[in-house]
Amino acid sequence: MIEAVMVGAGQRGHHIYGRWALANRDRLRFVAVADPSAERRRRFGEAHGISDRDRYPDPFALLDSKRAEAAVIASPDREHHTHVLAALRAGYHVLAEKPMAHTLESCFEIVAASRQSTGTLHIGHVLRFSPFFQALHEVIASGRLGDIVTVEHRENVVAWHMAHSYVRGNWSQRATSPPMVVAKATHDFDILHWNLASPAQTISSVGNLYEFRPERAPADSTERCTDPCPVEDCPYDARRVYLNPAVTGWPVHVITDDFSPEGRLRALQEGPYGRCAWKCGSDVVDHQVVNLSFESGASAGLTVHGHSPEEGRTMRYDGTRATLRGRFGRHQELTIHSHVSGEIEEVPIPPVASGHGGGDAGIIEAFLDSIEHGKPPATSARESIESHLLAFLAEEARLEGKVIDVTTRRRLGNDLNSDFDTGEGDTADGT
Ligand SMILES: NC(=O)c1ccc[n+]([C@@H]2O[C@H](COP(=O)([O-])OP(=O)(O)OC[C@H]3O[C@@H](n4cnc5c(N)ncnc54)[C@H](O)[C@@H]3O)[C@@H](O)[C@H]2O)c1
């Protein structure tokens, strides 16, 4: 059984990692928590039997000394950088939520720092640990598709989730959060990087905020959905999502801890999640398309957008011998279509219970296995820097309308942080 500390006891910290620990008491126990919110500290502390003394408002007061073997960093994106560096300095084994950090420079700094730490660093690329993406990876690695020539990968965010996270919620303002292509699509760049097994060479991107602007608001729309708003059949009507009594988990637990009809309504009337989606002042994109070339000669297109009727990722890998099509979401499908026989084979995917198609539970288990058996992290900082590099460069390419030479920028990032390198090669980070 591994003892751990929690930094950031919110949606991920409390509801995902915390709950997993409570359901698997023989594997993981949280012994301290840090969160500036007194309510979040109380909630997490009570759930895990953590005394008042071990509930910290200041994360550094907890992280600066090694209080347990492991640390889970589930604080907001902008805090990851300093929290991860502090935890590595103290020698914790760290499981840090993605993105690693909110700037590319900070990500490279974390890679360098992870080489010097006695603890390991695992980045929360949960999808790699889902049975679906493991099955997909096995097909590609087996060579059954031949050489991969093109990939189309789409992240289709359902319209109300777009409104929840990127219009009304945590990731709606450029000034306070990383762009959507970083916050959401580092997972997708990680999947491409893992499967193509070839460094990206160039990247370009287009995209904009198409929908969520005041000039696109219906004429009679009000400031809040609860005013009440007369617009019928609105795809972003907050009442439909948050007042639905059948929904008792995410996303309702993000807006309130009081699940009563009155508690939910109050949150919509007073908090950010009841605001009209067209009038929130969101300044981040609602769709972005990225084109990539790889050293192998393969080309890939990645689309992330928030105008889908259904949440999920869809993908197609065209190889020289067969094509693989995938659908990852509520319904999961993976098929191989042979260029030789024309036959279509369905790849079996084991059923899963936990979030992110089983990836949430999978990454926790992999993290604990790594500590217990000294296995190197599959999603180490060094492995994960590529997805972050591509995501940040995609945004730069979009903003500046240019094609970026990824090879040069990769080298530059590594060179700038070479001072951190001990010269002892890859040690604790494992790759
Ligand atoms: N791996 C995934 O697929 C995945 C999915 C969703 C979110 N995330 C990431 O997980 C992280 C947490 O997201 P969330 O949805 O739980 O957000 P959240 O807002 O629900 O939780 C964040 C918590 O951190 C606390 N906090 C704020 N400032 C802090 C500080 N300085 N030190 C410590 N704690 C602080 C907040 O009070 C809150 O309790 C984010 O980085 C997010 O991008 C990852």
CA atoms within 13 A on the CB side of 242: 32
Phi, psi of 235 (to 5 degrees): -65, -20
| One pLDDT digit (tens) per residue for the chain, 431 residues | 999 999 999 999 999 999 999 999 999 999 999 999 999 999 999 999 999 999 999 999 999 989 999 999 999 999 999 999 999 999 999 999 999 999 999 999 999 999 999 999 999 999 999 999 999 999 999 999 999 999 999 999 999 999 999 999 999 999 999 999 999 999 999 999 999 999 999 999 999 999 999 999 999 999 999 999 999 999 999 999 999 999 988 899 899 989 999 999 999 999 999 999 999 999 999 999 999 999 999 999 999 999 999 999 999 999 999 999 999 998 999 999 999 999 999 999 988 877 888 899 999 999 999 999 998 999 999 999 999 999 999 999 999 999 999 999 999 888 877 654 433 333 333 22
Looking at the structure, tell me whether residues 171 and 296 fall in a common domain.
Answer: yes
∠ CA 87-92-94, nearest 5°, is: 75
pLDDT digits (tens, 9 = 90+) for 363-419: 999 999 999 999 899 999 999 999 999 999 999 999 999 999 999 999 988 887 765
Q: What is the pLDDT of residue 249?
A: 86
- For residue 135, give the CATH number of its domain: 3.30.360.10
Beta-carbon count within 10 A of 254 CB: 18
Three-class DSSP category at 55: strand
The answer to whether the CB of 356 is under 6 A from ligand 1 is yes
Asked if residue 384 belongs to a domain, the reply is: no
Q: Whose CA is nearest to atom 38 of ligand 1?
A: 10
- Domain of residue 261: give its range: 214-274
Structure tokens at 72: 């889970």
Looking at the structure, tell me whether residues 266 and 136 fall in a common domain.
Answer: no
- For residue 13, give the CATH number of its domain: 3.40.50.720
Looking at the structure, tell me whether residues 236 and 172 fall in a common domain.
Answer: no
The residue whose two tokens read 């909630």 is 43
The answer to whether the CB of 34 is under 6 A from ligand 1 is yes
Q: Cα separation of 31 and 182, whole Å?
A: 31
Q: Whose CA is nearest to atom 18 of ligand 1?
A: 10
Asked if residue 118 belongs to a domain, the reply is: yes
Q: What is the pLDDT of residue 415?
A: 80
The answer to whether the CB of 36 is under 6 A from ligand 1 is yes
Q: Whose CA is nearest to atom 9 of ligand 1?
A: 97
The answer to whether the CB of 180 is under 6 A from ligand 1 is no
Element (H, E) at 314: strand 312-319
Say how many Å lie between the CA of residue 7 and the centre of ligand 1.
9
CB-CB contact of 208 with 285 (8 Å)? yes
Looking at the structure, tell me whether residues 33 and 76 fall in a common domain.
Answer: yes
By C-alpha distance, which of 36, 311, 358 is closest to 164? 311
CA atoms within 13 A on the CB side of 417: 20
The answer to whether the CB of 8 is under 6 A from ligand 1 is yes
Looking at the structure, tell me whether residues 182 and 241 fall in a common domain.
Answer: no
- Cα 335 from chain centroid? 26
The answer to whether the CB of 76 is under 6 A from ligand 1 is yes
The answer to whether the CB of 82 is under 6 A from ligand 1 is no
Q: What is the pLDDT of residue 85?
A: 97
The answer to whether the CB of 35 is under 6 A from ligand 1 is yes
Say how many Å lie between the CA of residue 140 and the centre of ligand 1.
33
Q: Which residues pair with 304 in a beta bridge?
A: 155, 288
The answer to whether the CB of 96 is under 6 A from ligand 1 is no
Q: Whose CA is nearest to atom 11 of ligand 1?
A: 74
Q: What is the 3-state secondary structure (H, E, C) of 154-182?
A: EEEEEHHHHHHHHHCCCCCCCCCCCCHHH
Phi, psi of 225 (to 5 degrees): -65, -25
pLDDT digits (tens, 9 = 90+) for 323-347: 999 999 989 999 999 999 999 999 9
Say how many Å lie between the CA of residue 25 and the centre of ligand 1.
23
Beta-carbon count within 10 A of 218 CB: 13
Looking at the structure, tell me whether residues 302 and 229 fall in a common domain.
Answer: no
What amino acid is encoded at 150 in this protein? T
Beta strands 148-158 and 312-319 are: antiparallel
Looking at the structure, tell me whether residues 82 and 193 fall in a common domain.
Answer: no
The answer to whether the CB of 178 is under 6 A from ligand 1 is no
Question: Which residues make Cβ contacts (< 8 Å) with residue 373, sequence separation at least 6?
Answer: none
Say how many Å lie between the CA of residue 92 and the centre of ligand 1.
19
Which atom of ligand 1 has the smallest separation from the CA of 7? 33
The answer to whether the CB of 190 is under 6 A from ligand 1 is no
Q: What is the pLDDT of residue 353?
A: 72
Looking at the structure, tell me whether residues 255 and 350 fall in a common domain.
Answer: no
CB-CB contact of 122 with 110 (8 Å)? no
Given 357, 392, 423, which residue is the final one in a domain?
Answer: 357
Looking at the structure, tell me whether residues 188 and 327 fall in a common domain.
Answer: yes
Q: What is the pLDDT of residue 229?
A: 96
Q: Cα separation of 114 and 381, whole Å?
A: 7
The residue whose two tokens read 């979040």 is 40
Looking at the structure, tell me whether residues 370 and 225 fall in a common domain.
Answer: no
Q: What is the pLDDT of residue 418?
A: 65
